[in-house]
Homo-oligomer: A and B are copies of this chain.
């Protein structure tokens, strides 16, 4: 029997602490995986991706970078979208720069990475369910790995159910908190509602607690800043055999807190 094809998917890299823990820790993981995907939608200062953060993530070992609702925050991202390693959300209008999926050939395996946006509690975009149906009519996609960047657990579970047996994995991102529901759906589709993020510990999904907390307490806007200090890395490891997921598990790493 063939050796499984091992994919590591790293959740939203957030700001400098996220880039630091990725750069420090991903190289050690690199040899254990055939293909590494990193969501970079918060890599530059907590919002979007610029060239510096793109370079940091690829240098750390990522084969592919996905995005999310913050994709367009830094104008520099437009200059990066020609790079086939960068995947922007799929379900956007015709004519959107870049591509919503990218197909890679790795050690004789064909893998297509898709970045997809949810709509529940988020800005209106094209229908993600129908966008996937349309995409899956293309030939030669190989094993399809879907980063579903969405807020609502219902929408994520529904998409996973819709794609069960048709794609290799549906892994959620955007909430920045990993969910403890990693599993293989019937037909060989790995599913986890959210991968969690890669960013500062003791933060409010990446931000220094002061900003969000003042906002909730005062009911007035407050400026958010990236939380300084040690960071965590959250990921999901998926193993494929013949393009089907046979194993999926969470990976978690934390930098040590200084005393």
Question: Are B209 and A161 in contact (CB-based, < 8 A)?
Answer: yes
Question: Are A124 and B130 in contact (CB-based, < 8 A)?
Answer: no
Is A218 interfacial (CB-CB < 8 Å)? yes
Is A81 interfacial (CB-CB < 8 Å)? no
Is A92 interfacial (CB-CB < 8 Å)? yes
Summarize A's interface: helix, strand, loop or mixed: loop
Report chain B residues within 8 Å CB of A219: 92-93, 96, 123-127
Report chain B residues within 8 Å CB of A129: 213, 216-217
A181-215 interface code vs B (CB 8 A; 1 in, 0 out): 10000000000011010000011110101001100
Output the nearest chain B residue to A117 by Cβ-Cβ distance.
B219
The size of the chain A interface, using a CB distance under 8 A, is 53
A122-149 interface code vs B (CB 8 A; 1 in, 0 out): 0111110110000000000000000000
Is A162 interfacial (CB-CB < 8 Å)? yes
A147-190 interface code vs B (CB 8 A; 1 in, 0 out): 00001111101110110000000000001111111000000000
Report chain B residues within 8 Å CB of A106: none
Chain B nearest CB: distance from A255 CB in Å? 15
A20-33 interface code vs B (CB 8 A; 1 in, 0 out): 00000000000000
Q: Contacts A205-B153, A213-B162 given: A220-B179 contact, CB under 8 Å?
A: no
Chain B nearest CB: distance from A174 CB in Å? 9
